[in-house]
């Protein structure tokens, strides 16, 4: 697994629950390191062990951990760069949804050995979509749900999201658009740079 | 007339940064994004060359000159601040005697988006600008992550090097550090004084009182040597009870002799260890490198060693400066 993903998990736990908790998590996961490097590769099993350890420490299901991670990724000021990069996908939430198909390609443009979930959007009707999410790590669809929920807020859209289970190793997320301009959303200034 | 209006509306979508010029070079219409560059000035009615300066090709002052550039790449600059650079191309409109110029930001795009508060809707749908901005931002973020990793790796490397060059018991440099420093000084023709210090009766302390006592003595000697040298000098422990000091820039034998005397007398101070005291003394050999002449590290160390043997021969607790004839009367010759 790419270090960026493990590093994201580390920042999520550290920024949400403190460094002390993060150290506990790494011990519980049986890891010998505390800090992940964003630009190195790690064993896939490490990521799974981390998520399991966080769930155990926080006494919540793994799905909750993953969804909270997704929320963190696009809302915490420490990772503002990612939210900005996603906002380049479109000027409104529907355009953003359609840009998800390109997301793995976009990620590879930035960091060429970064593999993120393959995403395929199907438009069932103008306000109903189905997103198919395929990844080595089954369960990562919950991260995508956290990201989508927060990005909808970011665009000021009101949506209903539901994880519809795993079919042939592919996770399916149902998206219902209730209101595209529900709230004013957050500013997105093209010229601003994330810190 | 409506045809023209329809045409302009289409052009505003396809080329939101174009301008229409009449036969006199006055702007008759400006695309919506281009107009954003002049928030306080309506472009229609302005002379094109009054609002944009043509920097290449040069010396074009009128409509006739402009028309002659048809199809060429134009380099322009806004005449009002911010002086944003623009690229453009002109196409004549034979029907009216005027022309259409399509403009773009080129590399100035990064500043332009913040200077003019541009957003995705200001660019044609086929324009790659948004993708380029995405890429610039994504690459900067990735580069920043790499830069931080490099800094951490560099820090780790420096720490590892320092560890590799340090004698852990005394905190002095080790032989590896000496072998790193000496050849450089010789190569740079930097003069230095080389002092080899050897402890007398150290084995007896070790044998009688154990290694812990020996370690206490070595730490005491290390302190003496560090206090007798400057920061820019090198103090290394190169063997069990052997030390080498490199005095950078030293050429004065008298000063070297005084330092050696001080070291010898300080080393002889008794070292308390548990309920007893340890006593050792030191013999010193000195070799000088004047900054020129055919020699190398091994030769200089061997010279200092020869001088050290001469001082041991002379009854210990003293120093000798290397002289070539010592080689013939040294312990091997003796």
State both tokens at B23.
């036969």
The predicted-structure confidence for B47-67, as pLDDT tens digits, reads as follows 999 999 999 898 999 999 999
Angle between helix A80-87 and A141-155 (nearest 10)? 70
Instruction: Say yes or no: B113 contacts chain A, CB-CB below 8 A.
Output: yes
pLDDT at B247: 95
Q: Decide if A70 contacts A147 (C-beta within 8 A).
A: yes
The predicted-structure confidence for A41-96, as pLDDT tens digits, reads as follows 999 999 999 999 999 999 999 999 999 999 999 998 888 888 888 888 788 899 89
Q: If pLDDT is split at 50, 70 and 90, which confidence band does A195 have? A: very low
Give chain B's mean pLDDT. 91
d(CA B168, CA B171): 5
d(CA B304, CA B323): 10
Q: If pLDDT is split at 50, 70 and 90, which confidence band does B113 have? A: confident
Q: For B82-116, b where at least 16 C-beta lie within 10 A, e where not — what string?
A: eebbbbbbbebeeeeebbbbbbbbeebbbebbebb
The predicted-structure confidence for A95-118, as pLDDT tens digits, reads as follows 899 989 988 988 888 888 888 899
A81-179 is classed in which CATH architecture?
Alpha-Beta Complex (3.90)
Q: For B241-266, b where at least 16 C-beta lie within 10 A, e where not — what string?
A: bbbbbbbbebeeeeebeebbeebbeb
Q: How far is CA A3 from CA A12, A36, A41, A162, in A?
A: 14, 6, 5, 29
| pTM, to two decimals | 0.65
Chain B positions touching A40 (Cβ under 8 A) are 149
The Cα of A137 is separated from the nearest Cα of chain B by a number of Å equal to 23
Q: Examine the pLDDT at B334 and tell me if it is beyond 90.
A: no
CA geometry: angle B260, B266, B269, nearest 5 deg: 145
Interface contacts (A, B; CB < 8 Å): 60
Q: Decide if B333 contacts B327 (C-beta within 8 A).
A: yes
Q: Decide if B262 contacts B228 (C-beta within 8 A).
A: yes
The predicted-structure confidence for B62-77, as pLDDT tens digits, reads as follows 999 999 999 999 999 9
Instruction: Say yes or no: B127 contacts chain A, CB-CB below 8 A.
Output: no
The predicted-structure confidence for B115-148, as pLDDT tens digits, reads as follows 888 888 899 989 888 888 888 888 888 888 888 8
Interchain CB distance below 8 Å, A39 and B114: no
- Output phi, psi for A132, to 5 deg: -95, 130
pLDDT at B99: 96
Give the mutation candidate from A191, A194, A195 for the B interface (greatest B CB count, under 10 A): A191
Please give the residue of chain B at the shortest CA–CA distance from A188: B119
pLDDT at A102: 87
Q: What percent of chain A has pLDDT over 70?
A: 96
**Better pLDDT: B197 or B146:** B197
**Better pLDDT: B227 or A1:** B227
- ipTM for the predicted complex: 0.73
Mean pLDDT, range B238-246, rounded to an integer:
93
pLDDT at B139: 87
Q: If pLDDT is split at 50, 70 and 90, which confidence band does B332 have? A: low
Q: Examine the pLDDT at B308 and tell me if it is beyond 70.
A: yes
Least confident of A50-54, A187-191, B32-36: A187-191
The predicted-structure confidence for B263-306, as pLDDT tens digits, reads as follows 999 999 999 998 889 999 999 999 999 888 788 899 999 999 99
Q: Examine the pLDDT at B330 and tell me if it is beyond 70.
A: no
Interchain CB distance below 8 Å, A189 and B140: no
Q: How far is CA B29 from CA B15, B16, B181, in A?
A: 12, 11, 73
Domains of chain A, residue spans: 3-59, 81-179
Closest partner residue to B120 (CB to CB) among A4, A91, A111 is: A91
Closest partner residue to A190 (CB to CB) among B119, B148, B152 is: B119
């Amino acid at each position: 697994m790419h270090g960026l993903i493990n590093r994201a998990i580390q920042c999520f736990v550290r920024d949400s629950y403190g460094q002390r908790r993060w150290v506990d998590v790494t011990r519980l996961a049986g890891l010998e390191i505390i800090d992940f490097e964003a630009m190195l590769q790690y064993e896939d099993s490490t990521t799974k062990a981390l998520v399991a350890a966080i769930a155990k420490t926080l006494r919540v299901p793994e799905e909750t951990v993953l969804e909270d991670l997704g929320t963190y990724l696009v809302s915490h000021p420490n990772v503002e760069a990612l939210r900005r990069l996603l906002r380049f996908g479109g000027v409104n939430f529907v355009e953003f949804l359609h840009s998800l198909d390109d997301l793995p390609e976009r990620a590879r443009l930035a960091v060429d050995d970064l593999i993120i979930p393959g995403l395929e959007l199907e438009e069932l009707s103008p306000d109903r979509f189905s997103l198919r999410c395929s990844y080595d790590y089954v369960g990562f669809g919950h991260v995508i749900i956290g990201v989508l929920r927060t990005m909808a807020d970011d665009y000021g859209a009101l949506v209903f999201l539901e994880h519809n289970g795993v079919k042939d190793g592919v996770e399916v997320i149902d998206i219902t658009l209730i209101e595209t301009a529900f709230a004013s959303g957050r500013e997105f200034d093209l010229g601003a740079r994330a810190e | 007339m409506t045809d023209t209006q329809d045409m302009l509306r289409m052009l505003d979508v396809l080329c939101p940064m174009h301008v229409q010029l009449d036969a006199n070079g006055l702007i008759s219409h400006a695309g919506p994004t281009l107009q954003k560059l002049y928030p306080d000035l309506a472009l229609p009615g302005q002379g094109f060359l009054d609002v944009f300066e043509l920097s290449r090709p040069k010396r074009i002052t009128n409509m006739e000159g402009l028309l002659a550039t048809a199809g060429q790449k134009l380099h322009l600059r806004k005449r009002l601040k911010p002086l944003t650079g623009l690229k453009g191309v002109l196409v004549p409109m034979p029907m009216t005697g005027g022309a259409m110029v399509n403009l773009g930001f080129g590399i100035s795009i990064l500043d332009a988006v913040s200077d003019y508060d541009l957003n995705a809707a200001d660019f044609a749908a086929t324009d790659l600008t948004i993708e380029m901005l995405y890429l610039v931002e994504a690459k900067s973020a990735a580069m920043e992550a790499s830069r931080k990793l490099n800094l951490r790796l560099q820090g780790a490397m420096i720490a590892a090097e320092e560890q590799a060059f340090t004698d852990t018991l005394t905190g002095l440099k080790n032989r590896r550090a000496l072998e790193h420093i000496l050849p450089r000084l010789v190569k740079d023709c930097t003069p230095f004084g080389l002092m080899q210090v050897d402890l007398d009766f150290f084995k007896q302390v070790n044998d009688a009182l154990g290694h812990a006592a020996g370690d206490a003595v070595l730490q005491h000697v290390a302190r003496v040597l560090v206090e007798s040298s400057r920061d820019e000098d090198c103090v290394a422990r190169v063997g069990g009870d052997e030390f080498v000091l490199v005095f950078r820039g030293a050429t004065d034998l008298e000063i070297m002799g005084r330092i050696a005397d001080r070291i010898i007398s300080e080393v002889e101070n008794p070292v308390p260890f548990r309920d007893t005291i340890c006593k050792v003394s030191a013999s010193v050999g000195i070799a000088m490198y004047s900054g020129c002449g055919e020699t190398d590290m091994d030769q200089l160390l061997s010279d200092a060693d020869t001088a050290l043997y001469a001082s041991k021969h002379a009854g210990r607790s003293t120093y000798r400066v290397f002289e070539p004839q010592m080689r013939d009367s040294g312990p091997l010759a003796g």
